[in-house]
Amino acid sequence: MIQHKEGSLMAKHRNFSIFLGRTPQGAMMGVFCAFLIALLAACSGGSTSTTPGSTGGTLSGGTDISGKTILFEIQSSPSDSFFVPVVNGAKKAAGIAGLKLQIQYASNDDTTEVNQVNTAIASNVIGVALSIPDAGLNKVICAARAKGIAVVAFNIDGATGQGASCVQGFVGQDFVQSGALIAQKMIDSGQIKPGDHVFCPVEFPAQVYAVQRYQGVKQALSAIGATCEELGTGVDFGPAKSTMVSYLLGHPHTSAIIALGHAPLDQAPAAAKQVGRTIPIGGFDVTSDILSSIKSGAITATVDQQPYIQGFQSVMQLALYLKYAISPANINTSNGALIDKNNVDKVVSLVPDFR
């Protein structure tokens, strides 16, 4: 996910989620541990669910990891539709590997995420797949590695310094490349011209995804002498739309919108319509409304993170490392993944389960 808002909204929505779990040995111990984990999760303010893997899975040879538990961290809340295909991909990989998957949501709070990871470490999970919003997770990530727990990041990797060295692999979008991709798409189509002013709304401007997408957009725009102004909107659709309406009313010479996250992109066509403007719109991520707007022509294109891959590959990389000692790698899930009128019909039926 990504950064979208300034001031109090950015502070409120800044962080991400995690979860944890453990597979106990005896029946009585299993009941006790399950109760303890649920209690700790409730106290930490997050949301947790456990998905059992298929017994043994379909991977043969190597170290026996069947029935073991890994923590799968969701940076957002259970209501965030972006993570539906992420979770589906993670569940599929866990089933193939025979792993138990504990899914936890931190509801965009760093303290909750840190607490949940610490609890996972104490519960002896064998691996952690998580989104890392910022350097605030550095210490706990390295604490997991120090205990021999495998760590793979997905969606966002904001770890720095020593923390970055404790992340074994990242599965997610190349944000700078993707920012340049959507901006260049709109330049090449003649929708953004030299000297144009572009509005770049994003949920949380300080988060890694927002900073780097903005960097990529500015690189492309600067090359033709166009400018881009960023503004935080938050992740909720209603406030995001209101923020964009206010901006467009106050900046009537705005030539185009490049929304740096799914919330502002979803609402950008409605915001432009409300102020009586017909301007080019492009951005990131996929919702049913975004795809409908591409079909109607209200949105030119979106860069898809292909979130199913983020869930599937982060869990599968943990499984391959734990079973076969295959080192995790960095995987760019969005290399040239543009959706526009030419291919939107192939995607529509796959939302929200797979795209």
Residue whose structure tokens are 């979860």: 19
Contact 279, 306 (CB under 8 A): no
Closest to 105 measured CA to CA, from 130, 124, 133: 130
Element (H, E) at 95: helix 83-97
Per-residue model confidence as pLDDT tens for the chain (355 residues): 443 333 333 333 333 333 333 333 344 444 433 433 343 444 445 676 776 654 568 999 999 999 999 999 988 889 888 999 999 999 999 999 999 999 999 988 999 999 999 999 999 999 999 999 999 999 999 999 999 999 999 999 999 999 999 999 999 999 999 999 999 999 999 999 999 999 999 999 999 999 999 999 999 999 999 999 999 999 889 999 999 999 999 999 999 999 999 999 999 999 999 999 999 999 999 999 999 999 999 999 999 999 999 999 999 999 999 999 999 999 999 988 999 999 999 999 999 999 9
Any idea how long the chain is? 355
Domain locations along the chain:
7-173+307-324, 175-304+340-348
Contact 37, 8 (CB under 8 A): no
Q: What is the pLDDT of residue 5?
A: 33
pLDDT in tens, 171-184: 999 999 999 999 99
Q: What is the pLDDT of residue 235?
A: 86
Question: What percentage of the chain reaches a pLDDT higher than 70?
Answer: 85
The contacts of residue 115 (CB under 8 Å, 6+ apart) are 44, 46
Residue range 175-304+340-348 in CATH 3.50.50.60: no
Q: What is the pLDDT of residue 336?
A: 86
Model pTM score: 0.82
Return the exposure string of 217-226: e unless at least 16 CB atoms fall within 10 Å of the residue's CB, then b: bbebbeeeeb
Residue whose structure tokens are 């300080």: 206
Confirm whether 7-173+307-324 and 175-304+340-348 share one CATH topology.
Answer: yes
Q: What is the pLDDT of residue 108?
A: 87
Contact 201, 260 (CB under 8 A): yes
Q: What is the pLDDT of residue 46?
A: 66
Q: What is the pLDDT of residue 176?
A: 97
For the domain made up of 7-173+307-324, give the CATH fold.
Rossmann fold (3.40.50)
Q: What is the pLDDT of residue 156?
A: 95
Q: What is the pLDDT of residue 45?
A: 55
Q: Which long-range contacts (CB under 8 A, 24 or more apart) does 219-225 make?
A: 219/176, 219/179, 219/180, 219/183, 220/179, 220/180, 220/183, 220/184, 220/187, 221/183, 221/187, 221/192, 224/187, 224/192, 224/193, 224/194, 225/194, 225/195
